[in-house]
Amino acid sequence: MPAKAKAKQSATTVQQADGATLNGLVAVGEGRRRVVIERVTPEIDGGRYPIKRVSGDSVVVECDAFADGHDEIACAVRYRGPGESEWRDAPMQFLVNDRWRGAFTVDAIGRYSYTVIAWMDRFATWEHQLHKRVEAGQDVQVDLLIGAALVHEAAAAAPEAEAAVLRRYEQALRNGDAEAAFAPDLAARMAAHLPRRFVSVYERELQVEVNRPLARFSAWYELFPRSAASEPGRHGTFRDVIARLPYVAELGFDILYLPPIHPIGRQFRKGKNNSVSAQPGEPGSPWAIGAAEGGHKSIHPELGSLDDFRALVAAARDYGIAVALDIAFQCSPDHPYVKEHPEWFRARPDGTIQYAENPPKKYQDIYPFDFESSDWQGLWRELKSIFEYWIAQGVTVFRVDNPHTKSFLFWEWCIAELKREHPELILLSEAFTRPKVMYRLAKLGFTQSYTYFTWRTSKGELIQYLQELTQSEVREFFGPNFWPNTPDILTPQFYPGQRAVFLTRAALAATLTASWGMYGPLYELMHHVPVQGREEYIDSEKYEIHYWNLDHPQSLRHYIARLNRIRRENPALQRNDGLRFHRVDSNYLENEQLIAYSKVTPDLDNIVLVVVNLDPVNLQSGYVQVPTAEWGLEGDFQAHDLISDARYLWNGDFNYIELNPQTTPVHIFRIRRRERDQSGFEFFA
């Protein structure tokens, strides 16, 4: 192509491009926004899910922010609480390498929004450059006029009292007084009043789900009401559970969780030790929900009436205890839904309904819901209404059975809908499954989750798992709840029945994370015999009614009570951040049987150091590393063991500890600084 023809063709191209340009420019909006905001944290999956906090928490937000050229910038966290239409700003400080940090506090329960804004800091830029010019002895007359114009602009936007002060500065600058530019108060006044131009707003609006404090700091106690009778041989009732409340309160628990309380199916009922068919009179599993007497909104008649249940909820509340119900979305073949809504279940070609299976295993006493039902909308509404029914009875805490076998979309919708009306709801996810599935459920809205704690027994396993839970992104949305046992899980470390194992596993659960729970009274009574070859209790309460002697002299009830009291008295144990593991050396090598970790409040007012002997047989001793400088400890300090009430005088970074599994294999030290009162008296605070 000759050059001229080519040039002509290109000119056309330019014209076309110009046409497109206009569109492009409209899409850009205000093109003078010069600050870039990137990598805002915390942010889960590109802002798709909220982070979680409890009321009173601080939300620390960071971002990368920078502009073209060398001018100064300013950044702020922009946030608003539930129902607020106006944004509030919290200033951010420069850290290093274009990173900025700011924070705001969440008080109200519900959804907060936050993002980051940034703009060119015109006054700081000018002042900064003026400073260099003055130092170099340059003529700054024109520069002072530029500054005066900025101050004038700020004065015009300020309330009158401020404006008067600013006008005096303006005049000083106009008069050639360079020193006025550096007056200590001027920068703050200018930051407050100089209009921000061309403000950049981070592209995503992020969310914080703020829960009540119980969502993070809670101690759960699970019991079977039908085994709560005051004498052997009788079916326990809600009234019996009311009588059990002082005991639960004495143990220090604040959530009392009951397995399903609904009518129990009769078809294919399971017998003692999960035998395929029950003998006459056997009570069946409470998780086989639904019978002629009703389904998920009914109460098993032998437990009592709805009024009895309401009385239990009210009585528990007087003890500061919340009653938690079990939501298990599955039906026995006798459940009224099976007849009323056959479309909610999967039909087989022979006309039967598909029961639960994990081939070749069959669970003929359970029909799962079909989340691919043509009436999925009706199913979703009904399932949500089950929660609403029990919320109306005063229940705000639920343990959800196997949520990972129900549709994720359902949970996301259901929890969002429920929490919009009831932001106080707490939902514990019982999904013992693969990690990504557990984390997804947490992102979708479950407040707390069971964990792998039960299977993490060695020092290395515990440290690695806790680091994942408390130091990776997971901490922003996953609320771990550590249970040493459940009706479904009795892990091998308990089989020998060693008291030390019961003591240490409870202490680990109660102090590693802010929420823990145990299944009693089997735990405090140290039950430890499994079904042969399975990690489950023999003669499980799931299939039969028991009577428990709570006053057994071997009971750990006082130890458990002490653990829970220590948790209540030490704010550091009520949060999951601030956890840190410490080296314990024996003969200059890491002792793999002694695990040591601390939890501290951000103000270092409460420092708790836990040391646990994981060896249930041998006395272990070693030197635990204490970061005295970081904790502000000088000279002697006190390690006050809150379990034994013994007080040790420690000094320096390495201190001797020794734990005997035959007595108490756990130290929970409150670290106390030496202080001096007004009269010169020294004490440990």
Give, as ranges, the residues between 133 and 162 that touch its own copies (CB under 8 A): 133, 135-136, 138, 142, 145-146, 149
Give the footprint of its own copies on residues 435-454 (CB under 8 A).
435-437, 440
Going by C-alpha positions, the residue among 679, 524, 657 that lies closest to residue 596 is: 657
Biggest CA pair distance of the chain: 107
224 token code pair = 């079977």
- Dist CA 316 CA 256 (whole Å): 8
Is 69 a binding residue for its own copies by CB under 8 A? The answer is: yes
Q: Give CA–CA dist 584/507, Å, rounded.
A: 18
Tell the smallest beta-carbon distance from residue 139 to its own copies (Å): 11
Dihedral, CA atoms, 147, 153, 158, 162, nearest 10 degrees? 30
Kindly tell me which of 6 and 88 has the beta carbon lying closer to its own copies. Answer: 6
Candidate residues 165, 353, 391, 538; the one interacting with its own copies per rule CB under 8 A: 391
Residue 488's SS3 state is coil
Distance CA 477, CA 47 (A): 12
**Do 112 and 86 contact (CB within 8 A), yes or no?**
no
Q: Is residue 70 a contact point for its own copies (CB under 8 A)? A: yes
Residues 547-586 vs its own copies: string with x where CB under 8 A? Answer: ----------------------------------------
Q: Which stretch binds its own copies (CB under 8 A): 32-40, 483-491, 653-661, 670-678?
A: 32-40
Q: How far is the CB of 26 from its own copies (least distance, A)?
A: 10
Binding status of residue 175 toward its own copies by CB under 8 A: no
**16 touches its own copies (CB under 8 A):** yes
640 touches its own copies by CB under 8 A: no
Shortest Cβ distance from residue 372 to its own copies (Å)? Answer: 5
Q: Nearer to its own copies by C-beta: 437 or 538? A: 437
**Does 5 participate in binding its own copies (rule CB under 8 A)?**
no
Instruction: Note whether 7 binds its own copies by CB under 8 A.
Output: yes
Residue 41 found at the interface with its own copies (CB under 8 A): no
Binding letters toward its own copies, positions 349-378, x by CB under 8 A: xx-x----xxxx----------xxx--xx-
Subset of residues 478 to 497 that bind its own copies, contact rule: CB under 8 A: none
Residue with Cβ nearer its own copies (48 or 168): 48
Stretch that binds its own copies, among 127-135, 477-485, 493-501, 550-558 (CB under 8 A): 127-135
* Cα–Cα nearest to 619, from 663, 668, 585: 663
Q: What is d(CA 201, CA 75) in angstroms, rounded to the nearest whole number?
A: 10
Residue closer to its own copies, measured from CB, 33 or 270: 33
**Is 184 an interacting residue with respect to its own copies (CB under 8 A)?**
no
Taking alpha carbons only, the member of 326, 377, 374, 383 closest to residue 346 is: 374
Question: From CA 394, how far away is CA 389, in angstroms rounded?
Answer: 9
Cis peptide before 42 (omega within 30 of 0): yes
Size of the site for its own copies (CB under 8 A): 92
Are the C-beta atoms of residues 474 and 506 closer than 8 Å to each other? no
Work out how close the CB of 404 gets to its own copies at its nearest, in angstroms, rounded to a whole number. Answer: 6
DSSP of 546-568 = ----TT-TT--HHHHHHHHHHHH
Nearer to its own copies, 390 or 543 (CB): 390
Burial of 216 (0-12, 13-18, 19+ CB in 10 A): buried
DSSP state of 11: H
Nearer to its own copies, 98 or 250 (CB): 98
With b for 16 or more beta-carbon neighbours within 10 A and e for fewer, the 348-371 pattern comes to: eeeeebebeeeeeeeebbbbbbbb
Choose which of 5, 83, 86, 97 interacts with its own copies (CB under 8 A): 97
CB of 180 to its own copies, least distance (A): 17
Out of 119, 247, 337, 410, which residue is the one contacting its own copies (CB under 8 A)? 410
**Does residue 380 touch its own copies according to CB under 8 A?**
yes
Q: C-beta of 645: minimal distance to its own copies in Å?
A: 44
Residues labelled as active-site residues: 401, 430
**Binding of residue 34 to its own copies (CB under 8 A):** yes
| CA–CA distance, 427 with 399 (Å, rounded to integer) | 6
* CA 643 from centre of chain: 27
Beta carbons of 102 and 75 less than 8 angstroms apart = yes
Strands 58-67, 99-105: pairing kind: antiparallel
CB 112 within 8 A of CB 210: yes
Q: Which of residues 301-360 bind its own copies (CB under 8 A)?
A: 307, 310, 348-350, 352, 357-360
Contact between 213 and its own copies by CB under 8 A: the answer reads no
Q: Rounded distance, CA 217 to CA 601, Å?
A: 14
Find all residues with CB under 8 Å of 59, minimum gap 6, and list them: 42, 51, 53, 79, 103, 104, 105, 106, 112, 114, 208
The verdict on 95 binding its own copies (CB under 8 A) reads: no
Site for its own copies in 413-432 (CB under 8 A): 413, 416-418, 420-421
Q: How far is the CB of 365 from its own copies (least distance, A)?
A: 18
At its nearest, how many Å lie between its own copies and the CB of residue 37? 11
- Sequence-ordered list of residues with C-beta below 8 angstroms from that of 400, at least 6 positions apart, any chain: 326, 327, 328, 427, 428, 429, 430, 446
Q: Which residues pair with 582 in a beta bridge?
A: 596
Stretch that binds its own copies, among 14-22, 155-163, 266-274, 538-546 (CB under 8 A): 14-22
Distance of closest approach, residue 17 Cβ to its own copies, in angstroms: 5
Residues 226-285 that bind its own copies (CB under 8 A): none
Shortest spacing between CB 576 and its own copies, in angstroms: 23
Q: What is the 3-state secondary structure (H, E, C) of 37-54?
A: EEEEECCEHHHCECEEEE
Q: What's the CA angle centered on 542, arms 539 and 547, to 5 degrees?
A: 60
Site for its own copies in 513-542 (CB under 8 A): none
Stretch that binds its own copies, among 128-136, 334-342, 458-466, 675-683 (CB under 8 A): 128-136
Residue number, 388 or 590, with CB nearest to its own copies: 388
In whole angstroms, how close is the CB of 207 to its own copies at the nearest point? Answer: 14
Work out whether the CA dihedral 368, 372, 374, 376 comes out positive or negative. positive
Give least dist CB 478 to its own copies, A. 14
Answer for which of 84, 205, 388, 539 binds its own copies (CB under 8 A) is 388
Amino acid at 415: I
Cross-strand pairs, 670: 608, 640
330: left (phi over 0), alpha (psi -120 to 50) or beta: beta
Q: Which stretch binds its own copies (CB under 8 A): 41-49, 177-185, 570-578, 623-631?
A: 41-49
